Amino acid sequence: MPKIDRRILKTQQALKTAIITLMSEKNFDEITIQDISDKANVSRGTIYLHYLDKYDLLDKLIETHINELRERCEAAADLDFVTGSEIWTEYFESNYSFFSMMLASKGATNFRSRFQDFLIEEFKDEVDITKGINQGLNKDLVVQFLASSYVGVVEWWFTNQRPVTHQELAKQLGSLLERICN
C-alpha cells in the first residue's frame, strides 16, 4: 500500500474537523465550500483536489467512521457482546463530536440509515431463530428490531449528553445483545 503524504492527511483531517465544527453552528444545507475553506484555513481549490463537493466530504467522513466500526467489529468477533460493545462505545466516546452531530443534532440525515444498515449486516449472522427466545420468529424482523434498537439507544445516549458512562452503556447493550443473540 503506497504511503500517503502527511500533508494530504493533515489537510483532509482539517477539512473533516471543519465540517463537523460548522455543523455544530448551522444546518448542513447552509454550509458553503467557502465556509469549509475558511474554517480549515485552506483554499477552495484545495477542497476540490480532495473532494467533489461538501456532500462528498461528508460522505467520506461517514464512510471512514463506518469502516472503523466494521474493523472494530471484526477485531471483536471472538469476544463476548459486553466486551465487544465496550470497544464500540469507547470509539463513540472518543469521536463524540462526530457522532453527536450525526445522531443528536443537525447532522446528515442519511447517517442514521447508513449506521442502521451497517448494523443489520453485522447482526444478521448473530441472530439464531432455531432456538431460545427467538425460536419461530422471522429472522429479518428480529435483525431489524435489534439494529433499530441499537441505533435508538446510541442516539439517546448522544441526545442526552451521555447520561451514563460509555462503559455502562457497553455493559447494558452487551447484556441485551447476549439475550437476543444467544
Question: Rounded CA gap, 178 and 5, in Å?
Answer: 43
CA angle at residue 164 from 161 to 165, to 5 degrees?
100
CB 24 within 8 A of CB 97: yes
Nearest Cα residue to 162 out of 113, 112, 103, 111: 103
The per-residue pLDDT string of the chain (182 residues; one tens digit each, 9 = 90 and over) reads: 567 788 888 999 999 999 999 998 888 889 999 999 999 999 999 999 999 999 999 999 999 999 999 999 898 888 899 999 999 999 999 999 899 889 876 556 689 889 999 999 999 988 988 888 989 999 999 999 999 999 999 999 999 999 999 999 999 999 999 998 87
Q: Where are the alpha helices (DSSP H) in the chain?
A: 6-25, 33-40, 44-50, 54-75, 81-94, 96-104, 109-123, 139-159, 166-181
